[in-house]
Amino acid sequence: MTESSRFTEADYYQACFDSRAYMNNFYCRPEGHSEEKNYLTFVLGCLSRTFSTGQYKGRSLIEVGSGPTIHTVISACEHFEELVLSDFVDKNREEIRKWVQNEEGCFDWKPIIEYVCEMDGKSSSDVEVKLRQRVKQVLKCNVLSENIFYPESIEPAECVITSLCLEAACKDLQSYRDALCRVAKLLRPGGALVMVGVLGETFYCVDQIRFSCLKISKANVEDILRNLDFTVQEFNIFLAQDRENNKVSDFEAFFFLVALKSTKTI
């Protein structure tokens, strides 16, 4: 059996991904999962620095592959009038909707929101209200489909975020290239692409369930963005610590990047 034939694809996620276990394991505290050594703190810090400048703002922000989480748009929400979140897995979208509607039993994002707001110098209660108000849609998405949001049609946005999505959805580098090209089309010319991803990872686990990941390098990502006519503004790396004892994943590094789409129209 080839490696690609064992790749955990969309149907496996729909059947086996435990949204609440994922949040409990990886997002119940700002440090993230204990075996991944402050990766979440790294990501939240990068997002805070990026959006606190006010350089990236506009009418709309789209996140492709939100999972069941809202952490990537906490620092951004003040700078965009409308937020569109999305995921392939039905239970993930339901978790987001529960939080947005403040339903009883929704996941408690307060520790993460308070941590981010302390960095941003904002009131956590104000940001929580604003975030709930500005999430306008939670859509089904499939990055392997030509129209990611089919049958919906979405206007291009000033900013697109994708976090820990493409490596999990794409079983080979060509699929990853194609998916990133589709994500790029969601951006207006001159818009900002914000990516969070993992380098050198082949798997991660949610409780005892194992999911595949496409092993990619920094050079892979930079090459694809260059060919899509993006200019990388920053590319930050968080190297794995104590990798040999990490049972939840085998990542070599997390990355955070910001890239600007060319203003040229085709």
Count Cα atoms within 13 angstroms, Cβ side, for 151. Answer: 0
What's the total number of domains in the chain?
1
In a domain, 1, yes or no: no
Structural domain boundaries enclosing 249: 10-261
In a domain, 44, yes or no: yes
Binding residues for S-adenosyl-L-methionine: 22, 27, 65-66, 87, 92
In a domain, 4, yes or no: no
In a domain, 160, yes or no: yes
pLDDT exceeds cutoff 50 at 139: yes
Distance CA 105, CA 238 (A): 33
In a domain, 266, yes or no: no
**Mean pLDDT (whole number) for 75-85:** 97
| Per-residue CA distances from 27 to 63, 108, 111, 202 (Å) | 18, 9, 9, 21
pLDDT band at 265 (very low <50, low <70, confident <90, very high): low
* pTM attached to this predicted model: 0.95
In a domain, 218, yes or no: yes
Higher pLDDT, 31 or 182: 182
In a domain, 5, yes or no: no
Binding residues: 22, 27, 65-66, 87, 92
Distance CA 256, CA 173 (A): 19
pLDDT exceeds cutoff 50 at 259: yes
pLDDT recorded at residue 244: 74
In a domain, 3, yes or no: no
**Mean pLDDT (whole number) for 238-256:** 88
CATH number for the domain including 249? Answer: 3.40.50.150
pLDDT exceeds cutoff 70 at 100: yes
Residue 76 in contact with residue 164, Cβ under 8 Å? no
Contacts of 90 (CB under 8 A, 6+ apart): 14, 140
**Mean pLDDT (whole number) for 233-259:** 91
pLDDT digits (tens, 9 = 90+) for 150-196: 999 999 999 999 999 999 999 999 999 999 999 999 999 999 999 99
pLDDT digits (tens, 9 = 90+) for 5-23: 589 999 999 999 999 999 9
**Mean pLDDT (whole number) for 12-37:** 92
